[in-house]
Amino acid sequence: MPLKHKLLAVVLFTLTASPAFADTILILGDSLGASYGMDQNVGWVTKLQKQMPEHKIINASVSGETTAGGLRRLPALLETTKPDVVLIELGGNDGLRGFSPKKLKSNLTNLVKLSKAANAKVLVSEVMVPPNYGPRYSKSFIQVYKDLAKDSSITVIPFFMTEIAPHPELMQKDGIHPNEKAQDKIVEFVRPWLM
């Protein structure tokens, strides 16, 4: 066999023998992605991985995480995981702590810029604050995500808790976090955006 044919055979064998994923998806979230109050094995990110075995899903969600915390962690995560897609699900803890929408927008914008600079497709999950924070704050908070979609030319997906939070049977006792019964519903909601 000529040398060039041998080299081609080696290359083809290497390509077919190596496990290949369609995409590596990095999920940068807070307690909603970190399966707060339950075992991670029953959380929506783990369930999503089982439904999307052709993808490598890396869950970098941390309970209590703010956009500022995510911004500190993201450069190292991008370097080590080299994701094709970054799903950012942050902002809830910023809202619960009453942080300014201006700072929220700045942090989210920088998260998007870092992800794009790493050649990743970026999705941002919309987040809402509880109604007891008042209509003015709630409106300015949700406007951040609308402006982000327009200014950064990215896809902002609707907040998956919108269809879950009104149903007590799908929520934990704290009234903030979804319970185990809700996890499949979150997968059903999120998966089409990642396809």
Q: Which residues are catalytic?
A: 31, 174, 177
DSSP string, 153-176: T-EEEPPGGGGTTT-GGGB-TTSS
Q: Can you tell me the distance from the alpha carbon of 96 to that of 187, in angstroms, rounded to the nearest whole number? A: 24
Alpha-carbon distances of 94 from 50, 64, 72, 193, rounded to whole Å: 31, 9, 15, 24
Q: Can you tell me the distance from the alpha carbon of 115 to that of 83, in angstroms, rounded to the nearest whole number? A: 9
Q: Can you tell me the distance from the alpha carbon of 189 to that of 159, in angstroms, rounded to the nearest whole number? A: 9
Q: Can you tell me the distance from the alpha carbon of 84 to that of 103, in angstroms, rounded to the nearest whole number? A: 27
Neighbours of 178 (CB within 10 A): 25
